[in-house]
Amino acid sequence: MPLKLTPQTARIYLLTAAFLLALPSALSLYSGHTGKFIIATPRANRDPNFGVTMVYIAYHNGWGAFGVVVNKPLPGDKIKKFLGNNKAPAEAFFYGGPVSPNEIFVIPQATKSPPKVIPLARFKNENPAQWEDFMAGKTGTNLRLYFGYAGWGALQLDKEMLRGSWAIKNYDPALFYETKPQNMWGRAVDDLNPQNKKNQPGI
């Protein structure tokens, strides 16, 4: 027997259809924590990929999130393999995350506003002179390279935050550019919990 379409049922169908039609746009418009840092809490520290990490979120919407770990220097052997005979500074190379470790991303230079994270191939095409200067070891280029990235699926990062795996910190250029990588996580934790502040090594 076919279901009788009452006015109430029709309204439910229309509301459901409107919700489903609006959902993709809503997920895309949601900007989440784009341009912010997320700081691993003790819960996340149990994950070998994210223990004691600070991640810069390049974009975050309802469909997922993308960022790079900013406080883990790349091992020296990988730097040497990449550089060959070039002279770019070793302190410019970082482990960006567990996803696609052969993909390289660039954060171009110090900026007061949240920076862009750019694929290396695109950066080289758009800024060939700056790239050549960087690889030659010339001062003032201020590039940072990240090998691999951190990625999350639809609403995955939001769920991890609800579970308490991450704390959120607004973009702070002084923390990012003026603090040694090994001190970033501790300083961010202290900023978020000033009552627990501990003495940190000098910048």
Higher pLDDT, 138 or 27: 138
Q: Is the pLDDT of residue 77 over 60?
A: yes
Mean pLDDT, rounded, of the chain:
85
H helices of the chain, in order, are 7-29, 76-83, 120-126, 128-135, 156-162, 173-178, 181-192
Q: Is the pLDDT of residue 15 over 70?
A: no
pLDDT of 117 reads 97
Map residue 61 onto helix, strand or coil: strand
Taking residues 194-198, report their average pLDDT: 59
Cα angle, residue 25 at apex, residues 19 and 30 outer, rounded to 5°: 110
Taking residues 147-151, report their average pLDDT: 98
User: What does pTM read for this prediction?
Assistant: 0.81
Domains of the chain with bracketed CATH? 29-196 (3.40.1740.10)
- Provide the pLDDT confidence category of residue 17 given band limits of 50, 70 and 90: very low
- Provide the pLDDT confidence category of residue 167 given band limits of 50, 70 and 90: very high
Quick count: other Cβ atoms within 10 Å of Cβ 191?
16
Write the pLDDT tens digit of every residue in 34-65: 999 999 998 777 788 899 999 999 999 989 99
Taking residues 167-180, report their average pLDDT: 94
- Percent of the chain exceeding pLDDT 90 equals 69
Higher pLDDT, 15 or 109: 109
pLDDT of 59 reads 94
pLDDT of 46 reads 78
Least confident of 9-13, 72-76, 133-137, 192-196: 9-13
pLDDT of 49 reads 87
Contact 7, 32 (CB under 8 A): no
